[in-house]
Amino acid sequence: MECVFDISGSGMHEPGASLKRLSTADFERLSLFIHQELGIKMPPAKKPLLESRLQKRLRALGYASFTEYCEFLFSPGGLEQELVMMIDLVTTNKTDFFREPHHFDFLSRVALPALVRTTGPRVTVWSAGCSTGEEPYTIAAVMSDFGVNNPGIAFDYSILATDISTRVLDHARKGIYKKERLLPVPDGVKRRYFLRSRDASKELARVCPELREKVRFMRLNFMDEAFPIDGQLDIIFCRNVIIYFNKETQERLIWKFCEHLKPGGYLFLGHSETLSGLGVPLKKVSASVYTRQ
């Protein structure tokens, strides 16, 4: 679901590669930019990881130092050409189908019936920080099943899925996954909504057209002043993202979500995230689930 800075390791260099060293001055310049552009905290302890991640771009572009790379990156043409590549390298995207399954139980058992009663049979959803697409396709499967199980409602839905990384969005649009990625998916959901590859040796499955047509993918940066989203939505999933931001950035982002969430709509956060101490118009209704007041 999310685009976050990788804090899990120190990274690996290619054997025999000529390693460039990231100076403190260049690290401070890059870390400030990453925080301003992505909202992600970059403490000094992340200097070795940032150095490791950006080595690939220095080699690809033929730069002899991080200082040369920074001069290119922060030039007018450099920002236009390199920003997306740099973002893809310094962010990692971890997600799974049916991650935090209690959310999807709450969605089908509580949220959808309540929204249908109060706002009507058409429900709009935003998967914010969708990564490679497992979250929005899980939502689509749950909502499609809800429609099948409630044939008298004329239920319909649409899902907007956004991420800052163009690389993961390209993956998500295809909707093709290794079969091992489908292990958390219930067997019935697999049969209804996934197609097996004709070439069995590839061990691949693809989300069926019925679900893919319900999801629209779009690049979006949470740090943008305004989001290009028309109207208000019924549900927003933004899970395991705000934990990487400082409190000020968290509060600013949650307020922006509230602007795009209908009163009575639902916000789903990650299990380790909380709105405690943030002055936002949201009320907790379940574990890491909030409703707009």
Q: What is the DSSP string of 169-234?
A: HHHHHHTEEEGGGGTTS-HHHHHHHEEE-SSGGG-EEEE-HHHHTTEEEEE--TTSSS----S-EE
pLDDT tens sequence across 142-180: 999 999 999 999 999 999 999 988 889 999 999 999 999
Tens of pLDDT, residue by residue over 55-97, are 888 988 999 999 999 999 988 888 878 887 887 777 766 789 9
From 53, 57, 239, 292, active-site residue: 53
Q: Identify residue 42 by its one-letter amino acid code.
A: M
163 is catalytic: yes
Q: Give phi and psi for 135, each to the nearest 5.
A: -65, -55
Specify whether 53 is catalytic: yes
Sketch out the chain's domains with CATH numbers: 24-90 (1.10.155.10), 101-292 (3.40.50.150)
Choose the catalytic residue: 26, 57, 88, 163. Answer: 163
Place of tokens 């679900």: 211
CA dihedral in degrees (181, 185, 187, 189; nearest 10)? Answer: -120
Alpha-carbon distance of 237 to 124, in angstroms, equals 11
pTM of the full structure: 0.81
Q: Is the pLDDT of residue 282 over 60?
A: yes
